[in-house]
Structure 1
């Protein structure tokens, strides 16, 4: 009885819209006024202590294990939890899950490979043909073509650098290589990509050889901290600093500064919380081991301390929300195949991850920011106005 009282109290305050809840004893209740479009079904009783200790971990695991079922839109349900005052997802325990974690080179390699080396075939099922696994860039005329939006994002990043043909570019965390190879083919830059993922390294290496680009492009299976004393005219890094760990953010930006030539330009793109840094226990355990989303002020402090200067900031929150929604649509079109290959628990986990992240961007709990940085006075070697960034 006491446990159900806790559930009633929690759930009645967690959403700004009506929700039907069916409990483990088969009895149903509706919280909120109106006809609910979402139902939460507790097939089993989740211990109160697990929820109060860390709600995201307890409820995420319960969904993976089918102890909880959700009928209706998961993204909308989680968005509602973020929106509601007093929601358990806004509790101090949720925001301040900041355990100490190792980010040695060996641990970083293990963390990256646990996510990105699931297999290229898996990512090909639901990413666009460019295999770009980061926020796309949609314009008013394009809300649904993901490939077009990913190509637009890559060009948007490279245009911001105001690149000059024949100069050099380092792409830290190069993924499957689309950005670095576009920089070489379209902009005439000599590019170096670096990754810790063996699957990505092999994929990019093959593309370089297949396209006879050895004179313009190289990829390294190496920790970005071990690139020696070489310097580049430009640096790009997309979706990378979220993986380095809170304790290594300062070194990350110091290394960006170290690898840039004098008056060089960097475009750093990554998930950032405007409200301050945070981790999510469930995502850290099952999706991104070692992940940490920095606060905006935290990143700016590290940038200034590194000697770099900020030339421009651009927030792309709505773009990442739409990217994730399309990814999840693509994922669910292939759901039967993914479940056959990877199992039901894995499939439920990834579907929940994609929808939860979309909800987090939708609510403004997290953002994605492009930081345009210069090694030297802001705006050095760049046009006087921002109009050059959009063509």
Structure 2
């Protein structure tokens, strides 16, 4: 009886919006001030100890398996938990619940393939024509997803102020859109590296279709194995997956593969106040081995690698909007996903996309673009930031 009372007290203080909860015993209670627009249906009791020790993992699994149903805006529900001071859902030291995560080349390959080698068919259902799985850049509020993804790639390349004919390395090149734009629009000789077999095969096929052989190359290899040097380096949505213990090595590798005066644009998810670290649910089911550092961590590694910070731009609201569009696309095809992969998988990805959008909405994670240069100090960049936007007008 006491456990049920505590259970209800925890839920009553977990959100900053009014909610209605129907418990496994059939009793319905409302919490907060106002008319609830979100309703939670708990179909069976979840052990209190499990729920409070690793809430994102336990509740995430419960949602996947249909033990919990949410009627209403799940993104808003999760964002409200992030906003609520002292919520048991977000005030947990996630890191202590996980063993030390290793990121050898073999383990990194396994982690990447777990996530990206679900199959290109899965991602093609909802990512859009560019097959770009990272934060888009909305120059105008009504930009389509495909337009905003191309905006992002051009924004990255504009920041580098690249000269045609020079060489670019893209670390974690995904399905290749940045490589193609770099070659076709900026005249660069572009090389990408990925550990995903599916991404590698897709990019190889696109190189043939676009007639870019000799201008674009993709390698199925670990970035740590790159020995050549390049005029420019890009890396989008990559450092979140190298592991906390490899962040120093990652930025050092960026420095090593750059020629003197070379420039790099590193784009990835960070925390502005404290790193989001490791989330047990995402680590278990979505992307094993992930770690989200805070800005201070990255800047420390950048300085220690003898790289110079030339510019830093936050794009948090852009990623929230990107995820919301992905979720809309995903919702339209969820029946296809469920038919091929099963209901728990389909619900898992639905939760993942909405939870990530909520995290950006609440501001507990951000996405940053770090423009970096390598010594000596004469970088060749203009004195002001105006050049970054001239090609976008």
> TM-score, with normalisation over the residues of structure 1?
0.97
Q: Give the structure 1 partner of residue 250 of structure 2.
A: 252
353 and 40 in structure 1: CA distance in 2 versus 1, 3 angstrom threshold: same
Q: 1:378, CA displacement in angstroms?
A: 5.7
Quote the RMSD (CA, aligned, Å): 1.2
**Structure 1 CA distance for aligned equivalents of residues 97 and 148 of structure 2:** 34
The question of whether the paired residues in 2 share the 8 Å contact of 1:310 and 1:372 is answered with yes
Q: 1:179, CA displacement in angstroms?
A: 0.2
Q: Give the structure 1 partner of residue 270 of structure 2.
A: 272
Alignment of 1:344-355 (within 5 A): 344-355=343-354
Q: Give the structure 2 partner of residue 168 of structure 1.
A: 167
Specify the SS of the correspondent of 2:386: helix
249 and 369 in structure 1: CA distance in 2 versus 1, 3 angstrom threshold: same
**Structure 2 CA distance for aligned equivalents of residues 70 and 275 of structure 1:** 30
**Structure 1 CA distance for aligned equivalents of residues 35 and 59 of structure 2:** 24
Q: Give the structure 1 partner of residue 18 of structure 2.
A: 18
Deviating more after overlay: 80-89 vs 97-106? 97-106
Q: 1:207, CA displacement in angstroms?
A: 1.1
Deviating more after overlay: 327-336 vs 206-215? 206-215
Between the two proteins, the alignment pairs up a number of residues equal to 389
30 and 377 in structure 1: CA distance in 2 versus 1, 3 angstrom threshold: farther
Q: Give the structure 2 partner of residue 177 of structure 1.
A: 176
Specify the SS of the correspondent of 1:373: strand
Q: 1:90, CA displacement in angstroms?
A: 2.9
Q: Give the structure 2 partner of residue 301 of structure 1.
A: 300
Specify the SS of the correspondent of 1:266: strand
Q: Give the structure 1 partner of residue 237 of structure 2.
A: 239
The question of whether the paired residues in 1 share the 8 Å contact of 2:54 and 2:92 is answered with no
The question of whether the paired residues in 1 share the 8 Å contact of 2:168 and 2:190 is answered with yes
Given the alignment of the two structures, is residue 107 of structure 1 paired with residue 89 of structure 2, yes or no?
Answer: no
9 and 114 in structure 1: CA distance in 2 versus 1, 3 angstrom threshold: same
Specify the SS of the correspondent of 1:88: coil
Q: 1:276, CA displacement in angstroms?
A: 2.2
**Structure 2 CA distance for aligned equivalents of residues 79 and 41 of structure 1:** 18
Specify the SS of the correspondent of 1:175: coil
Given the alignment of the two structures, is residue 342 of structure 1 paired with residue 341 of structure 2, yes or no?
Answer: yes
**Structure 2 CA distance for aligned equivalents of residues 306 and 351 of structure 1:** 38
Specify the SS of the correspondent of 2:107: helix
**Structure 1 CA distance for aligned equivalents of residues 138 and 353 of structure 2:** 19
The question of whether the paired residues in 1 share the 8 Å contact of 2:117 and 2:196 is answered with yes
Q: Give the structure 2 partner of residue 79 of structure 1.
A: 79
Q: Give the structure 1 partner of residue 210 of structure 2.
A: 211
144 and 75 in structure 1: CA distance in 2 versus 1, 3 angstrom threshold: farther
Q: Give the structure 2 partner of residue 116 of structure 1.
A: 116
Output one character per residue of 1:38-69: Cα deviation in whole Å (capped at 9) or x when no partner.
01111010001111221111100011111111
Specify the SS of the correspondent of 1:191: strand
**Structure 1 CA distance for aligned equivalents of residues 82 and 159 of structure 2:** 33
Specify the SS of the correspondent of 2:156: helix
Q: Give the structure 2 partner of residue 52 of structure 1.
A: 52
